[in-house]
């Protein structure tokens, strides 16, 4: 996109925002009775998020003076049904042509300059988390795959703070004009489109082909990153080896061997002399 196109887009967005604020104030302050004059303008019946496929119950028609009605506003509900919002729209804000895209071009319109859109398919419990995702949410990507040079597997925090562009298939939603339960391919499968850099696109594509992808929803407004090392999945159920049971060693038994060594003690008592013979005994320990 050229700088001139970006400037024109910013100017148009500013004009649209000013017009929307004027319309919202007018509709809010107007009486409940629909005025007979003016022109019909389609406005949001409730706050709508980016990526929403418009349905008849999401909008309503009000009549506004010509000097208040914004340029490019839709005039009937039938004109907007099936269109996809490329920007969020507040309650009572007008639905204008620049705020919507056809089902074939909605993703392209939402991708920021220099970024790419990449769709991942989620299964099982990962698909159940996708039910809580909305366009504009931020997620972290966790990859589970084989460990380098071994037969084990690891879980790795692959990417952080990625923007969700869409949940489900906008083309299918627009064609069916149905509720969310109608466009899901099944309760255990969902597709999520993420906004990534070209480098992240290559890494994410390789990760999908060599493992599984999980998404972790971030708190709104949280943009920090964390350095978390990879986790060896085998350690989740590997038990530490129990220490070997220690047995008390039996004390060594001393084996005493006696050796004879006679000696004589002479006892003198006055004129009498008495001799007593003894044997010296020495002890030696055996094994």
CATH number at residue 52: 3.90.1210.10
Structural domain contains residue 83: yes
Note the pLDDT of residue 107.
79
Range of the domain at 54: 3-101
pLDDT digits (tens, 9 = 90+) for 111-152: 888 999 999 988 888 888 888 888 889 999 999 998 876 678
Is residue 256 assigned to a domain?
Answer: no
Q: What is the mean pLDDT of residues 22-28?
A: 56
Final residue of a domain: which of 236, 262, 278? 236
Residue 230 and residue 129 share a domain: yes
Q: Is the same domain home to 122 and 222?
A: yes
What confidence tier does 182 reach under pLDDT thresholds 50, 70, 90? very low
- Inside any domain, residue 249: no
Same domain for 133 and 62? no
Shared domain for 93 and 7, answered yes or no, is: yes
* Mean pLDDT estimate for the chain: 76
* Long-range contacts from 146-155, C-beta under 8 angstroms, 24+ separation: 146/210, 146/211, 147/232, 152/232, 152/233, 152/234, 153/233, 153/234, 154/230, 154/231, 154/232, 154/233, 155/230, 155/231, 155/233
Q: Band the pLDDT of 61: cuts 50, 70, 90.
A: very high
**269 within some domain:** no
- In the chain, the percentage of residues whose pLDDT exceeds 90 is 30
The two tokens of residue 269 are 């008592």
Query: Is the pTM of the predicted complex or chain greater than 0.75?
Result: no
Contacting residues for 5 by C-beta, under 8 A, at least 6 apart: none
Render pLDDT for 255-281 as a digit per residue (tens, 0 to 9): 545 555 666 677 777 777 777 776 665
Do 80 and 167 share a structural domain?
no
Q: Is residue 287 part of a domain?
A: no
Buried b (16+ CB within 10 A) or exposed e, 22-55: bbbebbeeeeeeeeeebeebbbbeeebebbbbbe
| Domain assignment of residue 262, yes or no | no
The 10s digit of each residue's pLDDT in 183-218 is 444 457 788 999 999 999 999 999 999 999 999 999
Same domain, yes or no, for 142 and 215?
yes
Pair 192, 133: CB distance under 8 Å: yes
Predicted confidence at residue 16, as pLDDT, reads: 52
Tell me what pLDDT residue 264 has.
67
d(C-alpha 123, C-alpha 192), whole Å: 11
One domain, residues 92 and 153: no
Query: Total domain count for the chain?
Result: 2
């Amino acid at each position: 996109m050229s700088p001139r196109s970006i400037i024109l887009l910013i100017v148009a967005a500013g004009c649209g925002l000013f017009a929307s604020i004027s319309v919202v104030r007018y509709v809010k302050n107007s009486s409940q009775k629909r005025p007979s004059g003016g022109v019909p303008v389609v406005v949001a019946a409730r706050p709508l998020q980016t990526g929403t496929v418009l349905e008849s119950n999401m909008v309503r028609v009000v009549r506004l003076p010509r000097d208040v009605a914004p340029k490019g506003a839709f005039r009937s509900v039938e004109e907007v049904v099936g269109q996809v919002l490329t920007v969020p729209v507040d309650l009572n804000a007008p639905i204008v042509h620049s705020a919507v895209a056809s089902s074939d071009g909605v993703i392209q319109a939402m991708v920021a300059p220099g970024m790419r859109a990449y769709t991942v398919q989620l299964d099982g419990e990962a698909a159940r988390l996708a039910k809580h995702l909305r366009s504009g949410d931020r997620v972290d990507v966790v990859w589970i795959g084989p460990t380098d040079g071994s037969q084990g597997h690891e879980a790795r925090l692959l990417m952080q703070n990625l923007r969700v562009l869409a949940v489900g298939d906008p083309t299918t939603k627009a064609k069916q004009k149905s509720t969310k339960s109608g466009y899901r391919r099944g309760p255990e499968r969902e597709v999520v489109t993420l906004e990534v850099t070209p480098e992240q696109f290559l890494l994410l594509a390789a990760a999908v082909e060599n493992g599984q992808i999980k998404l972790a929803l971030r708190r709104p407004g949280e943009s920090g990153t964390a350095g978390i090392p990879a986790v060896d999945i085998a350690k989740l159920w590997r038990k530490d080896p129990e220490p070997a049971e220690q047995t008390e060693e039996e004390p060594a038994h001393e084996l005493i061997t006696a050796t004879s060594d006679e000696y004589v003690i002479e006892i003198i008592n006055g004129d009498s002399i008495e001799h007593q013979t003894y044997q010296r005994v020495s002890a030696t320990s055996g094994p």
